[in-house]
């Protein structure tokens, strides 16, 4: 049997944007011939590999654009330490329930060190793993960037581009401190995503202390009203993770030091009497 010219096939696969099929089909076809695969099995295997590779590349692309803090996962988040955060609710959210598609929000309010940023980043990572697009930002940094594009009369376009992300994480929103001419930027962002796209917001201060974020009391109330509409609010009012870790580290160091023998401590030999070489001149011993 004469050899088949595969050049046209490779060109067609490239034209169809099937790079994984183009790279893997020769070996798979050889195996299929040797093992007598039906044509349907060969086609299904090639399609599965193409889909899996596309999913991997999509995950890497979305992870890079998300700007998440590294090393924050749900597996590493201790829900037992923060019992007021529902693990079942978080798992339902990251599994892609319809609340995310309907623009539902999640708000984490509590003192520093309670794990809010960790949980926010972990939720973002889990959603990316499930095919969603996420963007994480320190609120002050994002507001600063939006201020610049506002001066360039491009704020509406910039906010519209943010809508490409199913979830926008605004970390430390209550730290925003801007002049009155610019504090409407976070309000416009919140308003634009209302019932359209989801927000995950973390704050160290309760809603009553948010007056400094917005230029007017009416705007503050309107922003909070939009945020809490169809929103789940968790308040992880627990002792700081960092403080607990520092206390535990200090305790371990103290325990280790107590077990160690100080370098200048004289050890009494068996029998209770000190050795002759340990006696000092003029001693009565």
CA separation for the pair 178, 254 (Å, rounded): 45
| Lookup: tokens for 247 | 């206390």
- Mean pLDDT on 254-268: 56
Does 189 fall in a domain? yes
What's the mean pLDDT in 192-209?
90
Q: Is the pLDDT of residue 217 over 90?
A: no
Q: At what angle do helices 39-66 and 116-129 cross, to 10 degrees?
A: 150
Q: How many domains does the chain have?
A: 2
Whether 176 contacts 213, CB under 8 Å: yes
Task: Decide if pLDDT at 177 tops 90.
Answer: no
Return the beta strands (E) in the chain as ranges.
105-109, 134-138, 167-171, 198-203, 231-234
99 shares a domain with 55: no
Q: What is the pLDDT of residues 77-111, one digit of tens each?
A: 999 988 889 899 899 888 876 677 778 899 999 98
Q: What is the CATH number of the domain that holds 210?
A: 3.40.50.300
Q: Is 134 within a domain? A: yes
Task: Give tens-digit pLDDT for 265-276.
Answer: 554 444 444 444
Query: Which domain, by its residues, includes 191?
Result: 87-234
Looking at the structure, do residues 58 and 137 belong to the same domain, yes or no?
A: no
Q: What phi, psi does 167 have (nearest 5°)?
A: -130, 130
pLDDT at 117 over 90: yes
């Amino acid at each position: 049997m004469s050899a088949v010219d595969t050049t046209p096939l490779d060109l067609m696969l490239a034209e169809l944007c099937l790079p994984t099929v183009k790279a893997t089909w020769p070996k798979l076809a050889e195996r299929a011939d040797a093992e007598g695969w039906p044509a349907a099995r060969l086609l299904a295997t090639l399609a599965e590999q193409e889909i899996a590779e596309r999913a991997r590349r999509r995950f890497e692309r979305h992870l890079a654009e998300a700007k998440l803090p590294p090393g924050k996962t749900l597996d590493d988040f201790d829900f037992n330490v923060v019992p007021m955060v529902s693990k079942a609710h978080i798992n339902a959210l990251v599994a892609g329930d319809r609340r995310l598609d309907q623009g539902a929000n999640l708000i984490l309010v509590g003192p520093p060190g309670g794990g809010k940023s960790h949980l926010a980043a972990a939720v973002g990572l889990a959603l990316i793993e499930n095919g969603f697009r996420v963007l994480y930002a320190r609120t002050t940094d994002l507001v600063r960037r939006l201020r610049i594009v506002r001066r360039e009369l491009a704020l509406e376009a910039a906010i519209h581009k943010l809508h490409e992300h199913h979830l926008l994480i605004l970390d430390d929103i209550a730290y925003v401190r801007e002049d009155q001419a610019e504090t409407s930027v976070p309000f416009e962002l919140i308003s634009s995503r209302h019932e359209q796209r989801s927000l995950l917001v973390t704050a160290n201060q309760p809603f009553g202390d948010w007056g400094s974020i917005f230029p007017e009391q009416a705007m503050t109330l309107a922003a909070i009203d939009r945020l809490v509409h169809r929103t789940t609010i968790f308040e992880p009012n627990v002792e700081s993770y960092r403080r607990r870790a520092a206390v535990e580290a200090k305790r371990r160091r103290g325990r280790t030091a107590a077990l160690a023998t100080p370098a200048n401590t004289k050890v009494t030999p068996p029998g209770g009497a000190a050795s002759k070489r340990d006696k000092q001149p003029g001693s009565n011993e």
